Structure 1
Amino acid sequence: MIELMPLFLFAFICGVLLLGYPVAFSLGGASLLFAAIGIAGGIFDASFLAAVPNRIFGTMSNNTLIAVPLFILMGVMLQRSKIAEELLTAMAAGLGNKPGGLAIAVIIVGMLLAASTGIVGATVVTMGLLSLPTMLSRGYSASFATGTICATGTLGQIIPPSIALVLLGDILSTGYQQAQINLGNYSPDTVSVGDLFVGAIVPGLLLVVFYIIYVVIFSQLKPDQAGGTMTEQSDTGNEVTISMATVVAPILLIVVVLGSILAGAATPTEAAGIGALGASLLAFYKKQLDIIRLQQVAAETLKITSMVFMILIGAAIFSLVFRGYGGDELITDYFASLEGGVFSAVLIVMLVIFFLGFILDFIEITFVVVPIVGPILFAMGVDPIWLGIMIALNLQTSFLTPPFGFALFYLRGVAPEQVATTDIYRGVAPFIVIQLLLLALIAYWPALATWLPSVVYG
């Protein structure tokens, strides 16, 4: 019974979260409750809790995590300054009058927006508000339009610079070092956020290309559901020129941010500072920055950042209590007993993360699950960059899968009443298949995630 306490703790936290309680306080509160029960029963060593202050201080002084509020500020600034809206208008000017053209524009703009925000909910809601009414009015079927928007909105999980990859990079780095220490061959080499950014480029671009290929094929087969009945004429050359000027600046900002990391000229944290400053200057140039909007951006950035770090603190307490009850040994023994070795262990971890994605956001899963399973998988020889990309793609697929996918809920909240929930479910099905296909490709051919980092960083 005592050896099952870690599982009881995990199940209890999931139950509390399903009741709607705040994630950060559910993690910390439930863990402290179980610790108190264990101390009272003489089955938990209270000295584990003595490490809590050090964990919190280590979190607050972590230079890598400074990138989180800066990337959030960059994304919020680009949203509040209506740059995303201008991007969509610009792309639609050149592509919107062809079957499937507006859908391709949505994918490209969504990719850029994902690269700037890295937050699934923000991207889905923004693209839903901006593009869904237009797509419906131009003859797109509700299922095709909503499926494209939902799938595009989840690109924030994998397209760098992504907040999900920043958090994953920090957790995987710690887990990799712990695994090396446990194996007795510790070295200063480890996985970094920059490694994950570079590793995610090829899978992220492949996913976008697969989306566009599907849209092109669908538009050829069913043009009447992809805006093929529209009779509007193309915009004038002058309007398209102005639109292209609107597109270049945000793209240049993202290229500078990511390029500075790839070139080794800046760390992810320094690049995040460049991105935040660049987004602010871009908003100022477009006369979309005033004191009121700056206050709104700062307040929203503070709110999201506080949520992230409170969850991190709660997850740190959970991790200590979980290990205090012997949870890591329990999982290690279970993985060691599996037939199929590493393949079976990774498959089970992927399945658990996939289903947890129905009830937990990527932040909770990153801070709760990955620190537990990461060191064990690394000790079994799993590449940390490959694992990080697989987890990000896995969560992206989970957020898109009916009936509990977060992206579906976000879009349902802003979609017109005439759009049925079943339309959204049907629309995302082909994109789920595409994501599963990419997951299978990376699982079979890990070099898709690991080749570019090996070239860039040697």
Structure 2
Amino acid sequence: MASAGLWMLALLAALVVATGLPVWALLVGVASLFAALGVALSAFDSSVLSAVYPRLTNLLEMDLLQAMPLYVFIGVLLQRLPVADALFGAFARALRPTRAAPSLAALALGALVAPMNGSVASSSALLARLVAPRLTALPAGRGVALVAAAATVGVVVPPSLVLLFLGDAMMRAHTEAANLAGAASALATQRIVNTQDVLHAALLPAALVLLLWALAAWWQGRGREHEVAPLPLRRLLLAVAATLGILALLAAVFTGRLFAVEGAATGGCVLAVLTLVTRTLDRAAWRAVLLDTLALSGALFAVLAGATTFSLVFGLFGTGPWLAQLTQASSWPPAVLAACLLAGVAACAWVLDAFEMIFVIVPVVGPLLVLRLGDAQQAAVLLLLVLQLSFLLPPMGYAVLMAQARSGLAAGTLRVLLGALAPYLAGLLLVLAAVFAFPVLVHKLDEAPAATQQNAPPESEEDLVRRMREMSQPEEPAPTPTLPQRGRE
């Protein structure tokens, strides 16, 4: 019965491709089907399924989930405010000497705004509305490729919402991998990574990806005459203030001075106040912003609820430990096994978006990848790069589909589109290979851990339960000192 979890994943993938139904509904449906089969075959008791409710309740107490609607609100509001337009105009004016100003400005806007947008879909909508009309002079396929690539920048540039969720998932994956490996393994002596470690690990690879993509955007857009409209002083000041404000917020979250929910709340409040002061949106527009925010946030929460139900049933079959045993007993080299796991992640990401991957696939593959690589930060960055790569693979790549549907630009044939995407895919593959071969690239910004933390083994679930029971026991009252009586002095 341990292999039942793999059949769950296979059925889910088939239904996602064949039906087009919402993923959250398919997650709940597949989990319910296999839960009924598990109870009927006596694989587990039906009473254990009641754990779904407390798992969902505990998830809603996470800071990251409280930040998610705020990130969505920022992304929706940015689509309707002139801030992004002012930023694009300022970047285009500054990059005129390169003779590829619109292409480089689109990539710069994606790098600056995408981490605040929170999702690939939101970034695609913003860039399609704002950037696509400026890219009509490019040959067929190149504009779509640029919009799709710029929309995925938020996957790897910290501190995006995707990175924050992945950091939380990798913390659990690292703990599970250390427990599976045993107390005598090298993983047992490592400090469990946290979200801040993942943010630091992703910075240098993200910078390399942006540098290679800037070269690709310049190469494809160079030598063409582009009209760059003059930027009024008011818009220039708005662009400068917005750039400084976004960079300050991102730096505060990246360095840990602000939590993700605090940074998102600050950005949302600043944008809301700016909108109210300038009277950019009327009552109907505000209503549309709030309704879109509720709809997108509800969709993400629904995926999370479905993924939680799915992972519970998946874990009841014991598929995770079974896969870990197979992985550890395999005679294949660790690098080959890790490459196979990443290829499986790439195949799943071809039909799922980033949040569905983090909620469903990463909890399964993450511990196995950490076991093979022995480095949770390297595993996290590799997963990010593989996600970004899959989103850019036509015809099913999520970012490519969004760019084609929303930009209105000519994509040409599949061969033409693939040729336009080739420089971006090549740069991403180069960084992916470099991180795979040289793990030191993800440790350049590591903080030196204290000796006690570095050598402390991860606490198992049994140890945690025992410690909580000891803390809950009432302390015995100290004996009350008796005062000497006068007659006996």
Partners of 1:235 and 1:150 in 2: CA distance: 24
1:447 corresponds to which residue? 440
Partners of 1:62 and 1:418 in 2: CA distance: 42
Q: What is the DSSP-based 3-state SS (H/G/I as helix, E as strand, rest coil) of the residue aligned with 1:142? A: coil
| 1:249-284 Cα shifts (integer Å, max 9, x gaps) | 222222222222244322222222222222323333
Unaligned runs of 5+ in 2: 455-489
1:131 corresponds to which residue? 131
Q: TM-score, normalised by structure 2?
A: 0.83
Moved more, 286-295 or 198-207: 286-295
Structure-2 change in CA distance of 1:52 and 1:299 (3 Å): same
Structure-2 change in CA distance of 1:448 and 1:276 (3 Å): farther
| Equivalent residue in structure 2 for 1:280, among 259, 263, 272 | 272
2:146 corresponds to which residue? 148
1:320 corresponds to which residue? 312
Sequence identity of aligned pairs in percent? 26
2:68 corresponds to which residue? 68
Q: Is the 8 A contact 1:84 1:109 kept in 2?
A: yes
Q: What is the DSSP-based 3-state SS (H/G/I as helix, E as strand, rest coil) of the residue aligned with 2:79? A: helix
- Superposed, which structure 2 residues align to 1:360-371 within 5 Å? 360-371=352-363
Per the TM alignment, residue 327 of structure 1 is displaced from its structure 2 partner at its CA by 0.8
Per the TM alignment, residue 289 of structure 1 is displaced from its structure 2 partner at its CA by 4.3
Q: Is the 8 A contact 2:370 2:379 kept in 1?
A: no
1:245 corresponds to which residue? 237
Q: What is the DSSP-based 3-state SS (H/G/I as helix, E as strand, rest coil) of the residue aligned with 2:192? A: coil
Moved more, 43-52 or 312-321: 43-52
Q: What is the DSSP-based 3-state SS (H/G/I as helix, E as strand, rest coil) of the residue aligned with 2:364? A: helix
Q: Is the 8 A contact 2:213 2:423 kept in 1?
A: no
Per the TM alignment, residue 218 of structure 1 is displaced from its structure 2 partner at its CA by 4.3
Q: Is the 8 A contact 1:106 1:127 kept in 2?
A: yes
Q: Is the 8 A contact 1:78 1:116 kept in 2?
A: no
Partners of 1:342 and 1:269 in 2: CA distance: 38
| Equivalent residue in structure 2 for 1:433, among 402, 422, 426 | 426
Please tell me whether residue 300 in structure 1 is matched to residue 298 in structure 2. Answer: no
Partners of 1:455 and 1:278 in 2: CA distance: 35
Structure-2 change in CA distance of 1:180 and 1:339 (3 Å): closer
Partners of 1:442 and 1:244 in 2: CA distance: 38
Structure-2 change in CA distance of 1:219 and 1:259 (3 Å): closer
1:26 corresponds to which residue? 26
Structure-2 change in CA distance of 1:190 and 1:302 (3 Å): farther
Partners of 1:304 and 1:454 in 2: CA distance: 36
Per the TM alignment, residue 15 of structure 1 is displaced from its structure 2 partner at its CA by 1.7
| Equivalent residue in structure 1 for 2:208, among 206, 223, 228 | 206
- Superposed, which structure 2 residues align to 1:332-343 within 5 Å? 332-343=324-335
Please tell me whether residue 377 in structure 1 is matched to residue 359 in structure 2. Answer: no
Bigger Rg over Cα? 2
Partners of 2:449 and 2:103 in 1: CA distance: 33
Q: CA RMSD in A?
A: 2.7
Letter in 2 for 1:193: T
| 1:330-356 Cα shifts (integer Å, max 9, x gaps) | 311221233344322321221011111
Q: Is the 8 A contact 1:118 1:161 kept in 2?
A: no
Q: Is the 8 A contact 2:395 2:401 kept in 1?
A: no
| 1:273-325 Cα shifts (integer Å, max 9, x gaps) | 22222232333344324443333222222222222222112112211211211
Partners of 2:170 and 2:68 in 1: CA distance: 16
2:10 corresponds to which residue? 11
Partners of 1:293 and 1:447 in 2: CA distance: 48
Partners of 2:354 and 2:278 in 1: CA distance: 33
Structure-2 change in CA distance of 1:89 and 1:189 (3 Å): same
1:56 corresponds to which residue? 56
Per the TM alignment, residue 97 of structure 1 is displaced from its structure 2 partner at its CA by 7.3
Q: Is the 8 A contact 1:9 1:31 kept in 2?
A: yes
Per the TM alignment, residue 106 of structure 1 is displaced from its structure 2 partner at its CA by 1.0
1:161 corresponds to which residue? 159
Letter in 1 for 2:68: V
Partners of 1:387 and 1:418 in 2: CA distance: 37
The number of residues matched between the two structures is 445
Q: TM-score, normalised by structure 1?
A: 0.89
Letter in 2 for 1:440: A
Please tell me whether residue 171 in structure 1 is matched to residue 163 in structure 2. Answer: no
Partners of 1:194 and 1:417 in 2: CA distance: 38
Structure-2 change in CA distance of 1:337 and 1:188 (3 Å): closer
Partners of 1:94 and 1:456 in 2: CA distance: 42
1:44 corresponds to which residue? 44
Partners of 2:350 and 2:53 in 1: CA distance: 32
Letter in 1 for 2:329: S
Partners of 1:325 and 1:153 in 2: CA distance: 38
Letter in 1 for 2:436: A
Unaligned runs of 5+ in 1: none
